[in-house]
Structure 1
Amino acid sequence: MSDPAILVLDEGTTSTRAMLFTADGAMLSSAQQELTQHYPAPGRVEHDATEIWHRTLACAREMVEKAGGADRIACIGITNQRETVVAWDKSTGEPLARALVWQDRRTADFCERLKAEGHEAAVQDHTGLLLDPYFSGTKMRWLVDNEPAVKAASDAGTLALGTIESWLVYKLTGGTFISDASNASRTLLLKLGGSQFDDGLCSLFEVPKAALAEVTDNSGDFGSTLPELFGAPIQISGMVGDQQSATIGQGCLSAGETKATYGTGAFILANKGHDIPASSNRLLGTVLYQEDGQRTYALEGSVFVAGSLVQWLRDGLGLLGTAAETETLARSIDDSGGVVIVPAMSGLGAPHWQPEARGVIAGLSFATGRAQIARAALEAMAHQTYDLAQAFAADGAEWTSLKVDGGMSANDWMAQDIANLLDLPVERPEFVETTALGAAMLAAKGAGMVGSLEEASETMRGSLGTFRPSMENSVREARLTAWRKALAAA
């Protein structure tokens, strides 16, 4: 290896990874460890923050060794699942409770109370977000109210409440407490036009502002790792939420460009430039990235269950040996036999926003087998994407094509089905892990390896493949009719 590499820490929902990239965007190596999912009650999803740290560190050390030592790493970029909340004590650096994962719905009643009091319109106007337990702020409030150790730390002035990038940077540096603007914009506590967490929003959500991090750019010098972690300090120069990172990794740097990432959930973002976005169709306004204090924004639609549906079929029901089987099974039959799945295991996200909804499998018969269930699971991805396409169009952001990425998008059958149902070209990069690539691009800019994100995009992105629609209108309409009936049942 001639030039120093970029180390990316990609903190997902079900696993943590470390990946090595060259300066021109080629992935050299990766290490991955699964994360334990805790489900203490229906609608509750938790992680062990100590496990996240230890397994992330182990993966990072493997990559540093692979690179030939810390002096062969130019910089670190971090990307993460965005709304998960960690509470820790700043005096000890240790977690005070289990982390509440973005899928967790325990604050639904609190959100409903705020809606009933008439707060949602103002919250959406200020933050671009809706009152839903998905977002971080209500989780922070729940931890303070319900975990005695968290309340005690808050009273003592030692409490830290942060999203995963904050937690990792704190542990890597030995105490730097920051949150990048893209992650901070997912908390309900940051005004889209405000530089730091907002006093009024913290008061509304009953979150102690003293426990929150400093909001920063997405690229720059964020400090260096403790020397003992990797044998020598390494600069941290990029931080970004996973969906914003994938948008950057897909090269959606101009207003109007749109991408969809299919991972644990499915997330679609359209670049809106420097104008603060507003939606009349229950889409979200969010910070795409911030450079030198100036923000680029995005309009977003979030689907809570995508790849996790296939994981449930594999691990929960035992219908699959591997996730890759879904493509073979889907191709083995002409249609789903009338089976439709609404994957509302964690409620319905955009554009429906019904946290109380639960999953539905409709159209079962004695002819239903593994193949029909697997195909219906993949078809659910296209159905949910179609609903979002309609909402984006109604908000004046109609798609002319769609760039897809994430682990699920490697499924050729699913990518073609999305193109068919949307009646639009779907573009997929040769390297589908664009979430990690976006973090590498930001880190490269923050470390001065490139002069701009545009330069990073030209240098580091690979070629694209295109799936073109080939479905008859009658078939499309029949699919959508069956989907709407099943959706009503959810």
Structure 2
Amino acid sequence: MRIAAIDQGTTSTRVLLADGNGLLRVAHSVRHAQHYPNPGWVEHDPLELLRNVAACIEVAGEVDALGIDNQGESCLAWDAISGEPLSPVIVWQDNRTKDVIEQMRAEGVEAMTLERAGLPLDPYFSASKLGWILQNLPAARDAHRAGRLRLGTTDAFFLDRLAGRYVTDATTASRTSLMNLETLDWDEELCRIFCVPLETLPAIVPSAGHVFGSVGKVPITASLVDQQAALFGHGCRKAGDAKITFGTGAFALAVTGAQIVRSPEIGLLPTVAWQTPNETVYAVDGGVYDAGSAVEWLGRIGLMKSYEDLQAFEGRTALDSGLVFVPALSGLACPYWDRSAAGVWIGITADTTREQMLQSALEGIALATVEVVEAMASRIAITKSLSVDGGLSRSAYFVEFLADSLGRDIKNTSFDELTSYGCASLATLALGVDLPAVGHDNATSVARTTDRARRRHLFDQAVRRSRNWR
């Protein structure tokens, strides 16, 4: 048995090859361009993404099945006949619809989105982006009048172009704010208020356990959101199992089983974890907008020379020096959902060093993550140890600071591709086999001397100052 899993993420596309003997290998990886045409706008070229996915499939060669995970909320329009894009991919980070969202909130629409989709009003989700495309791009309007318009998330575009199936899965649909979380169908009223014609949307199908279509002779047997794939890849199966992936953002998910957990007052999002023809598993999701993106920014402005700069720091924490960083470069997500917040450094003095600023940046990302996990723990019983992956999980200082600040053990592994591994594992369900589990290499235990209350107090004071700035 040989499985290929393609992870089409925010900054790159890669393919993992897996077999029944436990061999796991990234066979190809390619980055794509990020486009920022206006302040707050983030776009990708749909054809560049499609070429990269196709290149990964070609490199994979002969496999028994293929899985693809996607960015989640990123979306676009394309022509049903020619397949040509009618818009750029509008990325999940994009906030061009913030004024529309604020107007909808003022009109009292949020109660409906929370009740039906389980999601607050926010530019993060696909619905307002899809509505913006139809209202602002003449090519999309012309295609709609001609009955040729397709609107959807990137997965639907890939599946349509590569396998001839215009479908999306339940995990991805649950991130649009257009799907009813209980019925798992598109909601006519939600489509109406976001001005998204229901007939332009793809059919919703399970995430795994069936065939989505084929690329040549290779069946596609799994398709879902990258963070839900990562949840499965971490081995989270029971209610309370949780993971945190530190990618562009920090994404924490915890399995809630058959239960839909609704806690909008603290910024937690109910979502579909995965769906097979036999069951639907839900999760609760909370995130930090800027984690890896904040680290990349540190490099762009010259504070960080390489990731080696993040491994260890001498002496006390930056917080102990009174230096606090709030990673709100794109605003604050859980538990605030506040796009008006701005990134903040507080406590800089003439003695502040470059190393201390890097140290405080790591601490700020960790403390923002702590707020997400504590919000989750206030609603469900989360396991004592949390599983982490992603770039920042390679920093020993970051992981130790996170464990101490959470008061929980952190499980880590040297295998970074848990997202694509989870996708591969789900792809095998249609074949009736299982991939060998990936074990954890080490665990970072909680230090007993950590002054967690003081850390939280200082960070909370800085967060208050970051809010309502934009």
TM-score (normalizing by structure 2): 0.94
Which residue of 1 is the match for residue 152 of structure 2? Answer: 162
Q: How does 1:194-343 map to 2 (within 5 A)?
A: 194-219=183-208, 220-225=210-215, 227=216, 233-279=217-263, 280-292=265-277, 294-315=279-300, 317-328=301-312, 331-336=313-318, 337-343=321-327
CA distance in 1, matches of 2:458, 2:167: 47
Deviation at 1:100, TM superposition (A): 0.5
Contact 1:406–1:435 (CA under 8 A) maintained in structure 2:
no
In 1, the alpha carbon distance for the partners of 2:424 and 2:22 equals 8
Aligned to 1:462: 439
1:409-444 CA-to-partner distances (Å, cap 9, x unmatched) read 122221111100011111123423211111000101
Whichever residue aligns with residue 107 of structure 1, its letter is: T
Give the superposition deviation at 1:99: 0.9
Aligned residue in 2 for 1:21: 18
Contact 2:7 2:70 in 1 (8 A): yes
**2:57 matched to 1:60?**
yes
421, 429, 448: which is aligned to 2:413?
429
In the alignment, does 2:89 pair up with 1:99?
yes
1:443 aligns with 2:440: no
- Matched residues in 2 for 1:471 and 1:310: separation? 29
| 2:135 partner letter | D
Distance 1:165 1:25 in 2: 27
Residue among 362, 369, 373 paired with 1:378: 362
Deviations 1:30-70 (A, max 9, x none): 31111111111221111111111112222332232xxxxx2
Are positions 1:147 and 2:137 aligned together?
yes
Kept in 2: contact 1:22–1:28 (CA 8 A): no
* Cα distance change, pair 486–471 in 1 and its aligned pair in 2 (3 A): farther
C-alpha displacement at 1:489, in angstroms? 1.3
Q: Cα gap change, 1:399/1:483 in structure 2, threshold over 3 Å: closer, same or farther?
A: farther
State the alpha-carbon separation in 2 of the partners of residues 161 and 40 from structure 1.
21
The corresponding residue for 2:176 is 187
Does the 8 Å CA contact 1:333/1:371 hold for their aligned counterparts? no
Q: Output the aligned Cα RMSD.
A: 1.6
Q: Go from structure 1 to structure 2 and tell me whether the alpha carbon gap of 1:323 and 1:151 turns closer, same or farther (over 3 Å shift).
A: farther
Task: Report the 3-state secondary structure (helix = DSSP H, G, I; strand = E; otherwise coil) of the residue aligned with 1:235.
Answer: strand
Residues 147-190 of structure 1: CA distance to partner in whole angstroms, max 9, x if unpaired?
111111122111111212112212211x2111011011000000
Shift of 1:335: 2.2
3-state DSSP of counterpart to 1:224? strand
Identical counterparts, % of pairs: 37
Deviates more, 1:464-473 or 1:421-430: 464-473
Retained in 2: the 8 A contact 1:430–1:462?
A: no
TM superposition shift of 1:364: 1.3
Aligned partner of residue 16 in structure 2, secondary structure: strand
Report SS of the residue matched to 2:6. strand
Q: Is 1:138 equivalent to 2:128 in the alignment?
A: yes
C-alpha distance in 2, partners of 1:371/1:471? Answer: 26
Stretches of structure 2 lacking an aligned partner (at least 5 in a row): none
Q: Is 1:366 the equivalent of 2:355?
A: no
Question: Aligned runs of 1:64-75 on 2, under 5 Å?
Answer: 64=61, 70=62, 73-75=63-65
Counterpart of 1:178?
A: 167
Question: Per the alignment, in what secondary structure is the counterpart of residue 41 of structure 1?
Answer: coil
Q: How far apart, in 1, do the equivalents of 2:342 and 2:140 lie?
A: 31
Instruction: Summarize deviations over 1:79-120 as a string: whole Å, max 9, x none.
Output: 121100021111111111111100001111111122111121
**Quick one: which of 336, 356, 363 aligns to 1:352?**
336
Runs (5+) with no aligned partner, structure 1: 65-69, 228-232, 451-455
Deviation at 1:333, TM superposition (A): 4.4
TM-score under structure 1 length normalisation: 0.91
Q: Is 1:472 matched with 2:449? A: yes
**Letter of the aligned partner of 1:116 in structure 2?**
A
Aligned to 1:37: 34
**Does the C-alpha gap of structure 1 residues 211 and 434 become closer, same or farther in structure 2, counting only changes over 3 Å?**
same
Displacement of 1:342 in angstroms is 1.0
In the other structure, the counterpart of 2:465 is 489
